[in-house]
Each structure stands twice: as structure tokens, then as C-alpha cells.
Amino acid sequence: MTTALALFSGGLDSILACRVVQDQGIRVKALKFVSPFFDYDLLERQDGYCAEVLTKYGIDVELIDISETYLRMLAAPAHGYGKNFNPCVDCKILLVRTAKELMAKYDASFLITGEVVGQRPMSQRPDTLRIIERDSGTDGILLRPLCCRGQKKTRAEEQGLIDPDKLPHFSGRNRTPQIELATEMGIADFPSPGGGCILTEQVRAARIQALYKLQKPELLTPENIRFLLKGRQYHFPSGAWLTMGRNQPENELIESLQMGKDLLVKAVDRPGPSGLLRFSKGQADQELAAAIVARYLKKTAAKSQEMQVVTGDGRSAILLVHPAADSDIKPLSW
Ligand code: SF4
């Protein structure tokens, strides 16, 4: 049986692309790429996610963590950035190229994506779609089954593996035809379009951009990116980083990010935010972090506050600090 390898975002277009190719008797293996900027949390529930996609859509999906290559690409994407720090064209090229490299492993004859010509301003213009093929080395093996009619034929069509006349033909931003096809196919529960990529978000993308501007490649790790994407952020003159939760779920998440020499900073015997201090250079950083976290505790008559600083292996020290003044905190905000 012929196999096609699909780039699967989990959105409606990628679901439909897989399904219309399956309907022509092709086995489809779907790859869902994850990075700290999109869908990384799925790695924690990989089996559950894959089972859910199989049950809901009949699609056999596998997660591929592309973080390391992605972080390198993001430093200098050949085709530049979009409105924020999103390198959409190079992102697509990287994902398609990686899928091509995996074709032998899955014994796949061709690749498919759910791209629809004209749907997205940066990465789905007709000329950009050609650039993606050219720069990923997938000319002739990349089939876009939702919009391939009228385009240069791929090998799968030439060899009769796929009948383009039986495929839908979508274009532009109107999604009604896709939703109608989904309804016909009995696909009811699918994610709404857009969102999902942090690099398109103004505030968090700016943090990532600021990190890249530091020109310190050793800082470009998935763990550091995840740190920067959660909570209120402060960068100290020493080079230490502090993140602090804004609510209970975020506190729990921030606590779960503790690794290596990170220090957890919390009030002693009082509810309040959790802070996570990374790259601390010593006592002064710990006191500053404790003072910032103390600032966000409920005010009391006491002038100073007992705070605890806990290492990853559970050792803790108590610090007595005055809550930091807003004017001192503001210049440290990231
Ligand atoms: S929005 Fe994000 S995930 Fe989507 S193509 Fe652009 S950079 Fe890649």
C-alpha cells in the first residue's frame, strides 16, 4: 500500500488533507511537529493526544520534537520574519524538509500538507508555496491536496497514485467550503483556526526576540524559552532571570519548570505568588527575587516579610526582606 507522509497541524485543513488522501486508498502517516513555540505541552500527553486524533479523525499521528533545529533557524531565517517574530516561510521550509528526511523511515512515496493557496498572507501565497518546495527540496513530491488542481502535477498524480479530479479545490480565506466538506465527512469537532503559535503573539514574541538579541547562543534552549513564556518576567543586572506566577495555575506551572540550580521563591506560611529564579549569581539576586515576590503578597502591617528560597533538591533558606518598591521593579521587567 502506498504511504504518504502528512504535515499535521491539527487544524481543519490538515485533517481534511489527510482524509481526502486516505479516501483515495493511500495510507497516511501524519507528523505533528512541536517546539517551545507551538504545541510543546503535547509531549507530556503524547499517547493520549495520538489516541484522540485517531479516534476523532481516523488519522495516525506521531509527535516530532523539532525544538533544537527550530531554535537555530529562528536566529536568522532566510526569508525574514512576519509581523512579530514569526519566521513563517522558513518555518514551513524546515518542517517540510524534515518530513522529507523522514520519508525513508516511513516508506513514504510523497508528502502532503493542508496548505490552501491564498489563505495566509505570508506563507500561502502562490509564489511562497513554490519557494517552500524549492528550498525544502520537495519539488514534485509535495502534494497539497486541498488546492492542487491547476498547479504543476506532482509525481503522485503523474503516477496515478492520486486522482486530482477527486480532490477538493479551495483557495483564499473563506473557510466555508472546508467546513462544508468536514460536515460531509462527519468531522464535527475540530479546532478553530488561528492562534497556537507564540511567535505571532506581540508580547511573548517580543520577549523571545529580546532573548535572541542578547547574542548568547548558549541561552537558546527549549527550557529557557519555556521559562520566558510563563509568568511575569524580570531580568536582573547580574544576568539572573526571575519569573513569577500571576495566579495559582501559573504558580504550579512555574514550580514545575524548576531544574538544575533554579531556586523557588515563596512566602513562608502565606499564600501568594511563586517565583522561579534562574542563573542566580548569589545572595544579592536571591534577596532581590524575594523582595519582588514579597511585593505581590497581600499587604500587611508588617514592614518585612519572611520568604523561603528552595533548591531543586528541597534544601531551603529563609530570608527576611522588605517588599520591593514598584519603581525599583519596573526597570527589571521584561
Ligand atoms: S505561525 Fe508559527 S507555526 Fe505557523 S508557520 Fe508561522 S512560525 Fe510556523
Atom number, ligand 1, closest to the C-alpha of residue 197: 2
Average pLDDT over residues 237-258: 97
34, 81, 113, 123: residue to mutate for ligand 1 pocket, most atoms within 8 A of CB = 123
Q: What is the pLDDT of residues 177-192, one digit of tens each?
A: 999 999 999 998 888 7
Range of the domain at 47: 3-184
Which pLDDT does position 127 carry in this prediction? 86
Confirm whether 171 is domain-assigned: yes
* Pick from 276, 234, 273: nearest CA to 255: 276
We report the CATH number of the domain holding residue 160 as 3.40.50.620
Q: Please give all residues whose beta carbon lies within 6 A of any atom in ligand 1, as ranges.
A: 38, 86-88, 91-92, 123, 197, 199-200
Provide DSSP, 299-310.
Answer: P-S-SSEEEEEE
Provide DSSP, 122-188.
Answer: TT-SHHHHHHHHHHHT-TTTEE-TTS-TTSPPPHHHHTTSS-GGGS----SS--HHHHHHHHHTT--
Separation of alpha carbons 329 and 334, rounded Å: 10
Q: Which residue's CA is minimally distant from atom 5 of ligand 1?
A: 88
Residue 117, pLDDT > 90, answer no
Residue 63, pLDDT > 70, answer yes
Q: Domain ends where: 161, 184, 207?
A: 184
Helix axes of 176-184 and 12-22: crossing angle, nearest 10 degrees: 50
62: helix, coil or strand? Answer: strand
Confirm whether 172 is domain-assigned: yes
Q: Do 109 and 256 belong together in one domain?
A: no
Whole-number Å distance, alpha carbon 91 to ligand 1 midpoint, is 6
Q: Domain ends where: 184, 209, 240?
A: 184
Enter the pTM of the model: 0.90
